Amino acid sequence: MRHPLQGLRVLDFSRVVAGPFAGRLLSDLGADVVKVEPPDGDGTRIHGRDVKGITGFFQHQNAGKRNICIDLRAPGAVDLVKSLVRQADIVIENYRPGVLRRLGIDYDVLREVRPDLIMLSISGFGQEGPESHRPSYAPVVHAEAGLMHRMAGRNQTEPGDLPLSVADTNASLHGLIAVLAALHLRTQTGVGQHIDLSMMDATFATDD
C-alpha cells in the first residue's frame, strides 16, 4: 500500500520541536524528509534517554527522517542548498525572521530555483510586525498567551510552565495542515507559496 505523501521530498531546516514535529508527521505520511542540522547538532540531541547514540527527545521529533549537516555560513553553502531545493517540494524552517535572508536562502531566493516550492516558516510572532524579531520557545508563548496564568489560577499555585510544549506542537500541527492545503492548491495552479505561521497565532486559534 502506498503512503499518502509518497514521492514528495522535504528539506527540514527546523530545530527542536516547532517545525521538526511537522516534518516528522510528513515523514509518517510517506514523504522523504531530509533534516538539515548545523555542525553543533539539534538542541534535542542532549535531552532524553540515550539509546545507541540517539536521545529520545531527538528521536521523537525526527523519526523516519534522513539526516545531513550543513554549515549555512560556510563558503559554497548557498549553492549547496539551492541544489537540494531544486529537488524538493517543501522546505520547513523556524529561524528568527530575517536570518535566512541574511544567509542568502530566503523564500524569494529559493523560489527562483524551484518556482512551485512550498515553504513553511514557523516563528514565535510571525515574519513581520513589532514582535517579529523576538526569539521564542514554547514557554515564552505559554506566558504571553496567558496559559501559565490560567493554569496557576486553576491549581492555586505559583505560575509555572506547562508540562508539554503546547505552543510548539500546535504550531507544527497548524503548519502541517497549511502545507497539505498548499500542496492541494499547487496541483490545481502549479504555484507554490510561503506559509508564515506564528506560534502565538496557533496558540490563540486552539485556545478554548
165 within 8 A of 17, measured Cβ to Cβ: yes
Longest dimension (CA), the chain: 55
Q: Measured between alpha carbons, how far is 125 from 130 in angstroms, rounded to an integer?
A: 9
Task: Give me 30's grid cell.
Answer: 510517506
Let me know: does 9 contact 36? Beta carbons within 8 Å: no
Cα of first residue to Cα of last residue in the chain, in angstroms, is 38
CA distance 101 to 83: 17
Do 127 and 23 contact (CB within 8 A), yes or no? no
Catalytic status, residue 106: no
Look at residues 53, 23, 52, 26 and name the one whose alpha carbon lies nearest to residue 36. 23
Active-site position among 168, 201, 207, 208: 168
Residues classed as catalytic: 168
